[in-house]
């Protein structure tokens, strides 16, 4: 078991080799007069810019972490400056204990799921019941793989109760259901401009026949086509206890991650789902328990 309306646009210009001071001024976290005060102390006492800012009480450690993240091409978002929901904590608060736990999960996935010679890794997030956090986990894992520099696609294949368009502030008038019904092309995929390597394919309009759509050869062909462009594909699925969609989707993926939520998921239901997936030839990469 493993422990523990339109595409978004870039929020800031490329950082390049800009200094911490310039980054903080450009993002509105530091005024020019305060920057000049910090520079004066920096020169007088031979300190780094951040050290001088902390000494004067003008900067906080969070400001320095924010600027360093952008210097090292590891941007994160601030509340109110983006349509991405704060539920996507890997995007908003990448230094929190919850995200550290997710990093441990990502590391385990890389050891288990990235082993071998496979070039594209397609992972279905599955669990028995509703409200167990599949969409949350899928969204945060997608952000975290993109932060590694992996060209990542998040697919919302929950055609019954989709959430990814809400989490990323996207228009859901067209999406996976539209593509599978031959009503749209794959250009309905939206790039999340705040992250260089992250794109999302929302679920699209709710169809009357979701099980039939994901069972069509077109879905398997679509994943194969997308694997030529993306190195990591994360797939959100509906509750397995409600319908057979999740099992069908998982058979199309190169692996499945089984999710349980503490004090909510029935261990009997989880074991039954794992057995069903194995019997249909699904590669279970592992399982994880969510406390969030």
Does residue 130 sit in the same domain as residue 253?
yes
* pLDDT value of residue 19: 87
pLDDT along the chain (292 residues), means of 10: 37 56 85 93 92 93 80 71 88 89 93 70 96 96 92 97 96 95 86 86 96 96 93 96 94 95 93 95 92 72
Does residue 55 sit in the same domain as residue 96?
no
Does residue 96 sit in the same domain as residue 43?
no
Handedness of CA 177, 179, 184, 190 (dihedral sign): positive
Asked whether residue 10 is assigned to any structural domain, the reply reads: no
282 CB-side CA count, 13 A:
28
Does residue 192 sit in the same domain as residue 278?
yes
Asked whether residue 14 is assigned to any structural domain, the reply reads: no
CATH number at residue 261: 3.40.50.300
Who's near 86: CB < 8 A, 6+ residues apart? 79, 92
Does residue 110 sit in the same domain as residue 226?
yes
* pLDDT value of residue 93: 87
Asked whether residue 38 is assigned to any structural domain, the reply reads: yes
Does residue 151 sit in the same domain as residue 191?
yes
* pLDDT value of residue 81: 66
Asked whether residue 217 is assigned to any structural domain, the reply reads: yes
* pLDDT value of residue 13: 41
* pLDDT value of residue 9: 33
Q: Which domain holds residue 42?
A: 20-71
* pLDDT value of residue 115: 63
Does residue 190 sit in the same domain as residue 62?
no
Does residue 187 sit in the same domain as residue 46?
no
Asked whether residue 63 is assigned to any structural domain, the reply reads: yes
Does residue 257 sit in the same domain as residue 120?
yes
Burial 132-161 (b: 16+ CB within 10 A, else e): bbbbbbbbbbbbbbbbeebbbbbbbbbbbe
Does residue 211 sit in the same domain as residue 156?
yes
Does residue 266 sit in the same domain as residue 127?
yes
Number of structural domains found in the chain: 2
* pLDDT value of residue 111: 85
Does residue 105 sit in the same domain as residue 241?
yes
Asked whether residue 49 is assigned to any structural domain, the reply reads: yes
Asked whether residue 1 is assigned to any structural domain, the reply reads: no
* pLDDT value of residue 112: 81
Helix (H) or strand (E) holding 154: strand 152-156
* pLDDT value of residue 199: 96
Asked whether residue 78 is assigned to any structural domain, the reply reads: no
Among residues 71, 97, 131, the one where a domain terminates is 71
Among residues 10, 42, 71, the one where a domain terminates is 71
* pLDDT value of residue 79: 67
Q: Measuring CA to CA, which residue among 25, 6, 29, 26 is closest to residue 14? A: 26
* pLDDT value of residue 145: 94
């Amino acid at each position: 078991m493993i422990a523990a309306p339109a595409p978004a646009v870039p929020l800031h210009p490329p950082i390049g080799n800009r200094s911490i001071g310039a980054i903080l001024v450009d993002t509105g976290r530091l005024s020019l007069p305060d920057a000049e005060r910090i520079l004066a102390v920096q020169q007088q006492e031979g300190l780094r810019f951040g050290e001088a800012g902390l000494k004067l009480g003008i900067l906080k450690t969070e400001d320095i972490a924010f600027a360093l993240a952008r210097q090292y091409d590891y941007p994160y978002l601030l509340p109110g400056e983006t349509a991405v929901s704060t539920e996507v904590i890997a995007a908003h608060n990448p230094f929190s204990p919850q995200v550290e736990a997710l990093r441990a999960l990502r590391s385990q996935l890389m050891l288990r799921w990235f082993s071998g010679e496979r070039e594209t890794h397609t992972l279905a997030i599955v669990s028995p019941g509703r409200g167990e956090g599949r969409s949350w986990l899928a969204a945060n894992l997608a952000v975290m793989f993109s932060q590694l520099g992996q060209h990542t696609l998040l697919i919302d294949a929950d055609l019954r109760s989709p959430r990814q368009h809400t989490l990323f502030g996207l228009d859901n008038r067209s999406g996976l259901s539209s593509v599978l019904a031959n009503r749209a092309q794959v250009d309905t995929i939206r790039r999340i401009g705040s992250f260089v390597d992250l794109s999302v394919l929302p679920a699209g309009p709710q169809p009357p026949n979701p099980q039939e759509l994901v069972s069509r050869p077109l879905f398997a062909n679509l994943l194969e086509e997308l694997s030529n462009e993306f190195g990591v594909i994360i797939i959100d699925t509906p509750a397995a206890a409600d319908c057979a969609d999740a099992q069908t989707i998982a058979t199309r993926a190169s692996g499945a991650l089984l999710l349980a939520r503490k004090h909510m998921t029935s261990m009997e239901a989880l074991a039954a789902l794992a057995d069903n997936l194995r019997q249909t030839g699904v590669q279970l990469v592992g399982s994880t328990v969510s406390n969030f």
